[in-house]
A and B are shown apart, each in its own frame.
Chain A
Amino acid sequence: MFKKMLFISVPIITIMILVLIAYPGSSSGESNFVSTTKIENFTLVDLYGNNQSLKDYNDEKAIVVIFIATRCPVSNAYNTRMVELYNKYHDKNIAILGINSNKTEDIDECKTHSEEHGFKFPVLKDEKNVIADMFEASYTPEAYVLNSKTLEILYHGRIDDSREESNVEVADLSNALDEIIGGEKISVAKTKAFGCTIKRI
């Protein structure tokens, strides 16, 4: 009897151990920290004095909002990559908006910076960091992808996994956008990276 039980239980335990090894995160509830929140529509002035609202983009598939800075070397390391993102996605119904919420960087500085780096996407000045507070954004460059109609946050986090473009292995933001375009569920909805603190008032 004992031998029979052992005969049955050994393979079962082995399979259980193998499953645990293969899916170590499956029971740790990693996805719990994905706080899917919704953003309210807002209007900000771009660097040329034009009003821009999120609802202006509700015909797009998604809206990408990236909190950027003029003086943060981490954010600046992504200037070229942000232009590449715009080039890759603007004709695929993805809107890209940069937001500068740093109190230390005025609109003229933002304009010079944007033009110097050839930003084709609008950069909005968030005076008094009201919009950064609404998003609970804390660093630059911090990216959000919103459902253009419901303004629900679909992705939040880093642009990719390396400050050095040559070391990028996972392009998280692009992956999320490709999944949205392909009508798939976003597989990684939350990522993190070290960045410069947004200088609030």
Chain B
Amino acid sequence: MRLNHYVLILLLVLTGCTKNIEEKDETEKDNSTDYSQQIPVVDEVWLKNKIENRNSKILFINFWATWCEPCVEEFPDLVKIYNGHKNSGLEFLSVSVDLPSEIDSKVKPFLKEQSAYFPVVVIEEKRSEEVINLIDPEWNGAVPATVIYDENGDKREFFTQAGDYEFFNESIKKVKNY
């Protein structure tokens, strides 16, 4: 009888441990696609610092939103651009102009769906105008928009229309050879 008790307790402990291990695995799996730490809400000051601190890398910034049809269309090509250039002296920054309140509900699910693992930031809505003017005083804020800065932080390319892999790749090459 006493032995049966020990066996029962042992079984309960083991089952409990297994459950804990399973829960831990599940959490780790979620974390690998969880952007909570990687999607800060930023303003023009943050972006200006990013542009100026180049560390000998050119900077490719794409402005987009989940509500923007052409942005969504060009997104797979941007993922390809990032994957192809991440080890070649290119810093890639994806700037979403979705609302900060939509990070969890819209931005993260979209990035997961696109298997996009590049750095993403979201613009603080009240700083939109300052961000637009920092990038280009002639830009009125239509997205998508893409801007490429050289290793010195000088703006070399700026497009306010959607592009494809070939187009972005050529633009990056052009800036690298400048």
Contacts and interface: CB of A to CB of B under 8 A. Distances in A.
A138 B142 contact: yes
Interface string B130-173: 00110001111111100000000000000011000000000000
Contacts of B68: 196-197
Given A162-B125, A163-B125, A164-B99, A196 B141 contact: no
B129 A193 contact: yes
Interface residues of B, number: 26
Interface string B59-80: 0000101011110000000000
B58 interface: no
B97 interface: yes
Interface in A182-201: 191-198
B137 A73 contact: no
A1 to B, nearest CB: 44
A162 B63 CA distance: 18
Given A72-B67, A73-B67, A138-B160, A195 B125 contact: no
B5 interface: no
Contacts of B132: 192-194
B126 interface: yes
B128 interface: yes
Contacts of B67: 72-74, 196
Contact of B99 (A163, A193, A197): A163
Interface in B85-141: 97, 99, 101, 123, 125-126, 128-129, 132-133, 137-141
A192 B161 CA distance: 18
Contact of B97 (A71, A72, A158, A194): A194
Nearest to A200: B161
A191 B130 CA distance: 10
Nearest to A142: B140
A78 interface: no
A197 B142 contact: yes
Contacts of A72: 67
B128 A197 contact: no
A2 interface: no
B99 A139 contact: no
B15 to A, nearest CB: 48
A11 to B, nearest CB: 32
A167 interface: yes
A158 B125 CA distance: 13
A72 B70 CA distance: 11
A91 interface: no
Nearest to A137: B140
Nearest to B143: A194
Interface in A126-181: 138-139, 142, 158, 161-164, 167, 169
Interface of A: 33, 71-74, 138-139, 142, 158, 161-164, 167, 169, 191-198
Nearest 4 pairs of A and B residues by beta carbon: A139-B142, A73-B67, A194-B97, A197-B142
